[in-house]
Structure 1
Amino acid sequence: MQWTDDGLILGVRRHGETSVVLELFTRAHGRHLGLVRGGRSRKLQPALQPGNTVRATWRARLEDHLGALAVEPLSARAGRLMERADALHGVGHLGGLLRLIPERDPHEALYEAAEVVADHLDDPTSAPALLVRLELAVLSELGFGLDLSSCAATGGVEDLIYVSPKSGRAVGREAGAPYAEKLFALPPFLVAGGANASPTAADVAAGFALTGYFLDTRVWGPRGMRPPDSRAAYLALLQRAA
C-alpha cells in the first residue's frame, strides 16, 4: 500500500530513540498517522512541528497498519507561530478540532479550510473569525451543521440576528424578539453574504459562544469530552486583548 498526499501536521509523538509518530490531516486521506524514522534528527525536527504542512508518502504492507511516512516540507509556519501566544493556542485548538474527525476519513474541503486558518493564525485581525468558521465547518462535517440561511419561523432571509439552540437554525429579528433571551446572537459575518464583513470583538465572541454551545452539546458532551484547554486559553487571550 502506498500514497502521496499533502498534510497539515497536528501532532508529533516520540517513538523509540530516533523516530516519531506523526499525525497529519491530509487532503485526500483524512487524519492519518505514520512512523517517521529519524524524525528526531536535526534535519527533520524543524519540519515536523504542529502547524507546518508537508508532502507525505505513506507506505505499509496492509492498509490497517501504522505504516511509515517519508516527508518533504512544503510550508514551514511553526517558526513564526511560536512567536505569538495566541497563535500557539490556535495551533493547539486547530489540532483538537481536526481530531474530532474519524481517522482516515477524507474531508477535502475541511483540509483546504484548515490550511487557510493555519496560514493566518498569527494575524489577530483575521484568525479569530476564521477559527469560528472552522468550528462551524467541523460541526457540518460531523453531521451537525447549523442552518443560517433563512428564518426558522418565517422562511425569510432578511434581518437574521438570532440562532435557536434547539434547532440550530437562524431566526429573524421580529420572529425572535419575544424569545431573545433564550436565543444565541448571530453575528453578521456568519450570515449568508457576510463573508467579507469585518467582525468586531463582540461579533467574534458571539460566534465562539454559538459554536461552543453546539460543539459541547452535540460533539464533546456526547463523547464524554471536555472543551479543549487550548480553546479556553485562546478565548482568554482574545478577551484580554478586547
Structure 2
Amino acid sequence: MEWRDEGVILSVRRHGETSAIAEILTAAHGRVMGLVRGGRSKQQRPVLQSGNAVQAVWRARLEEQLGTFTLEPLDLKAGAIMEEPFRLAGLATLTGLSQLLPEREPHPRVYEALRIVLDAIDHDELWPALLVRWELGLLDELGFGLDLSRCAATGSREQLAYVSPRSGKAVSAAAGAPFRDRLFRLPAFLSAEGGGATPPDIAEGLRLAAYFLHRHLFEPRGVSFPEQQDWIIRALAEKPH
C-alpha cells in the first residue's frame, strides 16, 4: 500500500550504517514512523531534522508494517532554529508533546495548529502565546480540554480570573477570591474577554497547560514532562513586561 501526505518531522534515529527511522506527524495520517533509506547521507541529513516540514510518500506491503518513507522538503525551519536557544526550546517542546498522540490516528487540527506555531517561530513576540494555545488544544483533542468560557461556581462569563486545578474550569474573580492561593491565575489572553499576551501571562499559561498535561498524559505513563518548557518559562521571566 502507499499514501502521500505532508508532515512535520518529530524525531529521527539512526538505523544501520546508512539509513534512519523518521517519526512524522502528518496532516491526514497522524503520527507515523518509517524507514528512510540513505537517511544518513549528506543530501538527506539537512532534511531529516525535527521541525522540518516535508512531503512524504509512505509505502509498505501491509498496513501494520513499519514501511518506508520517501521525503521531499517543503519548509526547512530546523537549521535556523538550531542557532536560537529560545526557539529551539519551543521546537523541542512542540515535537516532544506531539509524540503523545496515538500512532496512526489522524489529528488534523493539532497538525494545522502545529504548522501555525512553526510558521511564527521566527517571531519571539508571537510563538510563545501560540504554543500555549496549541498545548491547550492538544489537551482538548485528547479528551482533557479545559473549560475557560464561564465560571464553574456562578456560570458567569464575566471577570474570569482563575482556573481550578481540580476541575480545569474557569472561576470568576469574586468566586475565586477566598481560594486564590489554591487556584491558577487565568491569563488575560486566554479569557473570553481577551487581552494582551505579556511574558508573565504567557509563562502562567505554560504552567497551566503543563499541570494538566502532566496530570492527564505524562503521570499515567510514568514519564517526565519536557524540561524545555521550564527553560521557556525562565526565559520569559527575563523578558521586559
TM-score range, shorter chain: over 0.9
Q: Which runs of 4+ in 1 moved over 3 A?
A: none
Deviation of 1:100 (Å): 0.8
Contact in 2 for aligned 1:170/1:186 (Cα 8 Å): yes
Q: Which runs of 5+ in 2 are unaligned?
A: none
Contact in 2 for aligned 1:160/1:173 (Cα 8 Å): yes
| SS of residue paired to 1:198 | coil
* Distance (whole Å) between structure 2 residues aligned to residue 231 and residue 28 of structure 1: 28
Per-residue CA deviations over 1:12-38 (Å, capped at 9, x if unaligned) read 111111111011000011111001111
Structure 2 residue 156 is matched with structure 1 residue 162: no
Deviation of 1:188 (Å): 1.1
Deviation of 1:182 (Å): 1.2
Per-residue CA deviations over 1:178-221 (Å, capped at 9, x if unaligned) read 11111110011111352xx4311111111112111111222111
Residue identity (%):
52
Paired position in structure 2 for 1:100: 100
Q: What amino acid does structure 2 have at the position aligned with 1:90?
A: G
| SS of residue paired to 2:115 | helix
Contact in 2 for aligned 1:5/1:55 (Cα 8 Å): yes
Q: What amino acid does structure 1 have at the position aligned with 2:146?
A: L
Q: 1:217 aligns with which of 195, 215, 218?
A: 215
If the length of structure 2 is used for normalisation, what is the TM-score?
Answer: 0.95
Per-residue CA deviations over 1:34-57 (Å, capped at 9, x if unaligned) read 011111111121111111100000
* Distance (whole Å) between structure 2 residues aligned to residue 90 and residue 222 of structure 1: 24
* Distance (whole Å) between structure 1 residues aligned to residue 193 and residue 44 of structure 2: 43
Structure-to-structure mapping, 1:1-242, within 5 angstroms: 1-192=1-192, 194=194, 197-242=195-240
Contact in 2 for aligned 1:84/1:122 (Cα 8 Å): no
Per-residue CA deviations over 1:120-178 (Å, capped at 9, x if unaligned) read 22321111111111110111111110001111111111111111111100111111111
Aligned-pair RMSD on alpha carbons? 1.3
Deviation of 1:99 (Å): 0.6
* Distance (whole Å) between structure 1 residues aligned to residue 234 and residue 200 of structure 2: 14
* Distance (whole Å) between structure 2 residues aligned to residue 128 and residue 99 of structure 1: 19
* Distance (whole Å) between structure 1 residues aligned to residue 150 and residue 10 of structure 2: 35
Q: Which runs of 5+ in 1 are unaligned?
A: none
Q: In 2 relative to 1, CA 193–111 (structure 1 residues): closer, same or farther, beyond 3 Å?
A: farther
Contact in 2 for aligned 1:86/1:122 (Cα 8 Å): no
Q: How many residues align?
A: 240
* Distance (whole Å) between structure 1 residues aligned to residue 235 and residue 176 of structure 2: 32
* Distance (whole Å) between structure 2 residues aligned to residue 96 and residue 216 of structure 1: 13
If the length of structure 1 is used for normalisation, what is the TM-score?
Answer: 0.95
* Distance (whole Å) between structure 1 residues aligned to residue 196 and residue 72 of structure 2: 36
* Distance (whole Å) between structure 1 residues aligned to residue 55 and residue 186 of structure 2: 38
| SS of residue paired to 1:149 | strand
Bigger drift between 4-13 and 119-128 goes to 119-128
Contact in 1 for aligned 2:206/2:229 (Cα 8 Å): no
